[in-house]
Each structure stands twice: as C-alpha cells, then as structure tokens.
Amino acid sequence: MRTAPSPSRSLPIEREIEPILAWRSWTLTGRRDGGGLLLRPVTAGSRPWRPQEVTQATCRLAWSHEAPNPDCSCGLHATRELDTLRKTRCPAVLGRVALWGRVIEHEHGYRARFAYPQRLRLICQFCFWQESAASSRPDVVAWYARDLLVPMCVRHLGVAEENGMRPRRILPAGIVDLRLRETYAVDALAI
C-alpha cells in the first residue's frame, strides 16, 4: 500500500488489490411474467446495472473529469452501514457490492468507478423504512406500469391497495428473488 498526495483536495491516495465490499439498494424493473429483471439506481435517470456486466460510473461532466471525482458527487455510491440505506427512496433490492478501480472513501460510504453486486435480496421497502432489513420479508412482488416491480409483505400490499396502488399483477416473491439471483449470478444475501 502506498500513500501519495492527491492532485485534488489533497486527499491521500492508497493502492490496494482487494475490492471493497459495501451496501447498496436499487429499484427493480421486469416483465409481467417476472422475466427481464434489471437493477436500477434509486436516482431517476441513472443507468441500470446490467446482469453479468461490470457497471462503470459516468458523470454528466465527463468532458472535464472521470468518475468518481473528489470535487463532484459522481460515481457508483455505496454505504458502509446497512442502516444508512433506510433513507433511500423506494428501495426494492438490497445487496452487497464489490467496488474497485478508483474508489473515494467518505465518512459513511464510497463512490467507485467500477462495481458489481455480490449478494442480493428483495425487501419490503415499507418494513425496511419502519423497522429494519431483518424484518423486511416480502411475500409478493407487485407489477406496476412501466414494468416497475415492488416487493411487499402481505400487510403492506393491503395498505398499498387501500391507497389506490393496485398492482396490475402479483408475483410470488420467492420466485422473483431466485430469478434475480440467477440473472445476476450471485448468492442470496443473508441478514
């Protein structure tokens, strides 16, 4: 490991050979039959994480710098602690991701140039927000317009339907969870 001054913001630079493992959440899209599953960043407009392909960070200011840049917010984000993700918008999938290439370490997480999920699990976002990841066990996956897939427990499916969020189709969560792991060729996330 080597330490040298960074050209930007004087951050120290270190060199390592092992990828960093961190936490990450995504939204999920797929066809009405549960096929064509695709992990998408919770930030609208960001590019999806394609199965069995390295995800590479890009920046809207790519003409001026490569992602991640210390003076920008670009890069593939992940967190050190799982609970930090409870503040994210509409998470459908939780996972452990490997980060490599240029990685900027922050106080509570990372921004990386390259990443790929290592373990994945569907979550009921409402249980995750209100309680924890461990208590977030979805029973079904609701299929909505624009191929949006929302895993939910039976209780929160009822709440969603009472509030006008009636899904167009309901799929068994176990089958979608297995198919997701097969699609990305990763193991189950045990929490």
Residues that bind other proteins (CB under 8 A): 6, 9, 11-20, 52-54, 70, 77, 79, 84-85, 87-88, 98-111, 116, 118, 184-186
Nearer to other proteins, 16 or 161 (CB): 16
Alpha carbon 159 to its chain's center: 25
Q: Nearest approach, Cβ of 175 to other proteins (angstroms)?
A: 20
Longest CA pairwise span in the chain (Å): 58
Q: Nearest approach, Cβ of 161 to other proteins (angstroms)?
A: 29
**Residue 58 class from Cβ within 10 Å (0-12 exposed, 13-18 middle, 19+ buried)?**
middle
Nearer to other proteins, 83 or 161 (CB): 83
Q: Are 29 and 149 in contact (CB under 8 A)?
A: yes
Nearer to other proteins, 20 or 59 (CB): 20
Residues paired with 49 in a beta bridge:
39
Q: Nearest approach, Cβ of 150 to other proteins (angstroms)?
A: 19
Q: Nearest approach, Cβ of 46 to other proteins (angstroms)?
A: 13
Q: Nearest approach, Cβ of 152 to other proteins (angstroms)?
A: 22
Which residues have a Cβ under 8 Å from the Cβ of 117 and sit 6 or more positions away? 24, 39, 49, 95, 96, 97, 98, 184, 186
Q: Are 102 and 111 in contact (CB under 8 A)?
A: no
Nearer to other proteins, 66 or 147 (CB): 66
Nearer to other proteins, 103 or 157 (CB): 103
Q: Which amino acid is at 134?
A: A
